[in-house]
Structure 1
């Protein structure tokens, strides 16, 4: 663990009286304003029983997530209930992370993923084909529902060999979000024993039960059936830990949940924001559509070669991750005393990192409120600090980041090579602050066919 240096300055204190109205009205905007008002400082939020430290300065974020990461746990005293959701699998930043990553790494090497691109492209193409009916009939579709369906179909086929249905993929991801969201009341009273009931506890238990009903029978069947196949479920069923022992069913279940979140949740959540954004930014939309029309043939599944040519599409997606990171809040608990930016953090103190806040700091991002894909154009000057942009949460982000950058452009390119859309309800939806940053309102779309494949 890094030795704490002497504290040099107190934190910027945000009193409850001054900040509560803003937090109730516009919590994200208020947090950004507080961080902007305290350059190079840690912000102490006075929230009554909870007084966490908001850490937004990129150098301070790096200290927590990389330089002194061993001193910060993802749950601290609140771990008992979250462990029922995630166990000790790769959703947690615990000491067993390296072992979990090693176990799953063979399925997510660059070579393995590259080989799966064409399979993913075909699976996504087949799922997008099903939108032809609503487009022909003039029936509205829900953006979040359809993106989830498309991604779940691809994940089920390519990563799970069809053993976990697309419907069950979507259900598990939705229940995981429900479970994580229901823990928010416990964040406000971290000292309260888990035995003391709070609002959200029942919803948490129900969500965990629903996840277990889907995943545990699958794990048991795989362990009893000869452990065959080349999918992730089969690989985990035959995996062994560092001591040479087979994994128990709970550990396999935990790792399956982690992979499902990485492969299905983040692309679904982030891409839902794209539709209302593009309608407000016609110049960006036209350039995106032009690139996709030039690279992807009508009716074709996007190939590995075409994926590498979608440069502007990737710029749009990188900017989308800056503006609307799925994991908007990353809570950490200090194991021992530390000093961040001159502010002393006592053992047990709660530190709040927020990719959303850091990625909208005016001192790091010119005109941060403007959606500008050119920020990520090749040849542009580098960011002021590597941790000014960390949409996947920092040091242990590789799996989710790699899969998003593979799946998201495939979905966008396939969808927009075949359809155009208009919003049924114009305007940007408000953010819903849950475990992930989702639109609060539905985003219904009217699709129209764009190009049809030439007849043979």
Structure 2
């Protein structure tokens, strides 16, 4: 029989602190599959690494990303039939087109270009530093990531200002869909708070993306950028190209922006970490990678991975019914007391100890056939951004350093940090 977490246990903290409610439920289950009792919605929470390996890799065909499923419907409203939500031949077709653009060998050849693009995107911060103007960390990171990503993956088909507008719109999408996540059984036809802002954000995205696609369709060429590659496909509807462009834009930008947005509040609390990062001063340094892994552990951008069971199955004594929703959460597993010593503490040195963890004890990019395409890009780009910024500036965070998560499709600080820069 599954461990059952009652509606009272979950709901009592769900609205006050939903992220902590998830972790508390996982810790109480102590490795067992949890049946969350949320009234008419009773998903299974799977957090044990062995169980996760089964769901995400070994028997992935039975645990699918059902675009019509309760928790996927809000995502589908934004990205339609994109690679992020589809399965089967359509997913295989899109993956086959896009995966070659994200391989580690290909991205490794672009490091110098990526570094130049990041440096150029950081240059405008000199004026802010000289004037003593506070800078919002999320806006700073958005400009840097868009400047680099539009160059190396989109061949400048999307301008940086337009890319920043898309990121802002995707942020609105990510936060306004939360109301539908909270009541996943609510039909789309029933109005919900945030629907108008959601629809306006989607219109903003479409107004930018569709003209770019039309230009590429007229002259697709042989470019190795995302838009060109998608537009060279034959007999693919325009809407599907649009959906994949938007999905890959999000994949290529959101993880880096979201994960690095936690770094500056952390550094405000841990000046020793900033001192060691600055002393290392290199993008390939071992300590920098330890810091990045710890950011990914505590605040994975993709904090929730819902799946739908195709056929009934018994998982470690728990009967998962066909059609049941299975919740997989890197955020919860990566904070389990049974897996991580001082699980809630930011400690980069835990990675230097070379302790071996189960493959699915730490999986910020998912796992199995649907592992995030942008993983290698992030692991190249994030260290370069950190090294470039800390080499050129000292940072002072204005006000208290807030590490409270903002609930959305991706995980960012609830209150964006503001920093004052000083040239080194």
Partner of 2:311: 336
Distance 1:110 1:17 in 2: 47
Is the 1:134–1:141 contact (alpha carbons within 8 Å) kept by the matching residues of 2?
A: yes
Deviations 1:176-210 (A, max 9, x none): 34324433343444444433333343333322222
Q: Is the partner of 1:325 in helix, strand or coil?
A: coil
Distance 1:81 1:284 in 2: 38
Deviations 1:319-346 (A, max 9, x none): 1100111111112222221222311111
Question: Gapped runs of 5+ residues in structure 1?
Answer: 1-9, 296-306, 451-456
Partner of 2:20: 29
Question: Gapped runs of 5+ residues in structure 2?
Answer: none
CA pair 37-171 structure 1, distance change in 2 beyond 3 A: same
**Alignment of 1:65 onto 2:64:** no
Partner of 2:261: 272
Deviations 1:144-183 (A, max 9, x none): 1101111001111222121101122222233234324433
Deviations 1:411-439 (A, max 9, x none): 10100010011111122331111111111
Partner of 1:298: none
**Alignment of 1:174 onto 2:143:** no
More displaced stretch, 347-356 vs 19-28: 19-28
Distance 1:434 1:234 in 2: 31
Is the 1:49–1:188 contact (alpha carbons within 8 Å) kept by the matching residues of 2?
A: no
* RMSD of Structure 2 on Structure 1 (CA): 2.0
CA pair 323-91 structure 1, distance change in 2 beyond 3 A: same
CA pair 398-330 structure 1, distance change in 2 beyond 3 A: closer
Distance 1:181 1:69 in 2: 28
Deviations 1:246-299 (A, max 9, x none): 43322221221122112111000110100010121122221111001xx4xxxx
Is the 1:161–1:231 contact (alpha carbons within 8 Å) kept by the matching residues of 2?
A: yes
Partner of 1:39: 30
How far residue 21 of structure 1 moved from its aligned partner, in angstroms, is 2.4
The count of residues paired between Structure 1 and Structure 2 equals: 420
Deviations 1:186-238 (A, max 9, x none): 34444444333333433333222222111111101111235354422222222
Q: Is the partner of 1:25 in helix, strand or coil?
A: coil
CA pair 20-109 structure 1, distance change in 2 beyond 3 A: closer
Distance 2:287 2:14 in 1: 36
Partner of 2:386: 412
Query: TM-score under structure 2 normalisation?
Result: 0.93
Which of 366, 384, 396 is 1:393 aligned to?
366
Which of 91, 94, 103 is 1:97 aligned to?
91
How far residue 104 of structure 1 moved from its aligned partner, in angstroms, is 1.5
Distance 1:400 1:320 in 2: 16
Partner of 2:78: 85
More displaced stretch, 228-237 vs 74-83: 74-83
CA pair 400-36 structure 1, distance change in 2 beyond 3 A: same
Which of 149, 152, 169 is 2:143 aligned to?
149
- Which structure is larger by alpha-carbon Rg, 1 or 2? 1
Counterparts of 1:97-176 in structure 2, within 5 Å, are 97-176=91-170
Deviations 1:65-91 (A, max 9, x none): 112211222234345664342233221
